[in-house]
Amino acid sequence: MARRYDPERRDRIIDAAIRVVGARGIAGLSHRSVAAEADVPLGSTTYHFASLDELLTAALRRSNENFAEVMRESEALADPEADLAEELAGLLGEYFSGGRGRAELEYELYLAALRRPALRPVAAEWTDGTAELLSRRTDPATARALIALMDGICLQVLLTGGAYDEAYAREMLGRIAG
Amino acid sequence: MARRYDPERRDRIIDAAIRVVGARGIAGLSHRSVAAEADVPLGSTTYHFASLDELLTAALRRSNENFAEVMRESEALADPEADLAEELAGLLGEYFSGGRGRAELEYELYLAALRRPALRPVAAEWTDGTAELLSRRTDPATARALIALMDGICLQVLLTGGAYDEAYAREMLGRIAG
DNA sequence: CGGCGATGCGTACACTCGTACACATGGGAT
DNA sequence: ATCCCATGTGTACGAGTGTACGCATCGCCG
């Protein structure tokens, strides 16, 4: 077969990996499944990413960037007049409004760091980055606690299959933000 | 080989599964690895647990029971005089004092519910049970928020590889408990 | 323009896995 | 005492996996 000149292949493989994780979970991620999704031969995925951990790391980093984008777009976060707890609760509402899919995907990548030390620095990047963003509206310790509570609330929704209760989230975030 | 009469084999297989997950993670869980750990033939594990999901469900349920035991033993939780936030922060301290191992194992099973609907009812059982326990000291909504925050704090410790800060946990739990 | 190294391609191998199945055994119901 | 079926045992098969390797191709640097 003719060889293709494809300078952005690496990026496309990462995108394919994210789609595969979204559709079949990390358990369904393999060099072959990614190769098929990205429409590249098997050898190409192993060439660009020596191990699956490497690929997952890249996928988590990209996922983080996507989320960071969303938070940056929310100008309300920068408005010192707005109620921080309400803004965050609203943000989570939007996050869940598109169905479980997206949140499930991003959390699966994030939680994968539990067992994969290679992902931990990337997970820490996300936490630190978000904390820094929130630090413009409150002190650093409070910022971290807000993130922890949001994580916990998302977890309860995702793990137990329950619904997201925005008023409840607003109330509890408010207790921390003061 | 002589057949062994072994009425508690099912239980021993569950224990073996928990040890395997602790040592190699859910990714390393297979009928064969469990069979080897429990010292039973392969066919025996497939006989007692038709699918790995079934085995994971049983493992998560047992893990929940172990944790519930710990919480019940903590009489301090029942003492209306004690400061709830301080008690919970202390409990988490004990939880982490034995190294990452135990928390990592239990959270891995718990978080597996994200992608395995079969585990979600069991995860919900745990949340509901713990919330009920805490409801003796506070209202139900606050109880759920305390659990969410504890989950989030544990997650930050486990995912980023950071250390557990008991004073910080106490402060933030206190803001929710009021 | 020449070549070389990065990139792409296809295949083969050894391994593990879930599943299925045929057969053995003996506890407990009848 | 007898028989049945829940339980236990061993093996085989096909599918999927990570990895390695040889060869092809061509952008780019000298």
Instruction: State yes or no: pLDDT of B39 exceeds 90.
Output: yes
Instruction: State yes or no: pLDDT of B156 exceeds 90.
Output: yes
Torsion angles phi and psi, residue B136, rounded to 5: -75, -15
The arithmetic mean of pLDDT across residues A2-22, rounded, is 90
The arithmetic mean of pLDDT across residues A58-80, rounded, is 84
Here the tokens at position A19 are 């789609």
Here the tokens at position A168 are 């409840």
**Tokens 């995912």 appear where?**
B159
- In whole angstroms, give the CA distance from residue B178 to residue B168: 15
Instruction: State yes or no: pLDDT of B75 exceeds 70.
Output: no
Contact B17, B32 (CB under 8 A): no
Question: What is the percent of chain A with per-residue pLDDT over 90, rounded to a whole number?
Answer: 83
Instruction: State yes or no: pLDDT of A78 exceeds 70.
Output: yes
pLDDT value for A178: 83
Residue A64, Cβ density class (10 Å: 0-12 exposed, 13-18 middle, ≥19 buried): buried
Instruction: State yes or no: pLDDT of B113 exceeds 90.
Output: yes
**B163: helix, coil or strand?**
coil
What pLDDT, in 10s, does the model give residues A119-139?
A: 999 999 999 999 999 998 999
Q: Give the residue on A whose Cα is nearest the Cα of B126.
A: A160
Contact B148, B154 (CB under 8 A): no
Q: Report the mean per-residue pLDDT for chain A.
A: 93
Residues of A in contact with B156 (CB under 8 A): 127, 144, 147-148, 151
The arithmetic mean of pLDDT across residues B133-145, rounded, is 95
Q: Other C-beta atoms within 10 Å of B55: how many? A: 23
CA distance A4 to chain B (A): 35
Nucleotides in D strand less than 7 A from protein CB: 7-12, 16-22, 24-27
pLDDT band at A16; cut points 50, 70, 90: very high
pLDDT value for B76: 67
Interchain proximity A115–B27, CB inside 8 Å: yes
Instruction: State yes or no: pLDDT of B97 exceeds 80.
Output: yes
CA distance A176 to chain B (A): 6
- Sorted by sequence, the CB contacts under 8 Å of residue B165 that are 6+ apart come out as none
- In whole angstroms, give the CA distance from residue A171 to residue A139: 19
pLDDT band at A73; cut points 50, 70, 90: confident
pLDDT band at B178; cut points 50, 70, 90: confident
The arithmetic mean of pLDDT across residues B33-55, rounded, is 96
pLDDT value for A106: 96
Contact B66, B15 (CB under 8 A): no
**B150: helix, coil or strand?**
helix
Q: Who among A111, A152, A160 is closest to B152 (CB)?
A: A152
Model-level pTM greater than 0.85? yes
Cα B61 to Cα A31, B77, B103, B129, B152, distances in angstroms? 33, 23, 15, 12, 21
- In whole angstroms, give the CA distance from residue B45 to residue B34: 7
Instruction: State yes or no: pLDDT of A29 exceeds 80.
Output: yes
pLDDT value for B103: 95
Hey, what amino acid is at B43? G
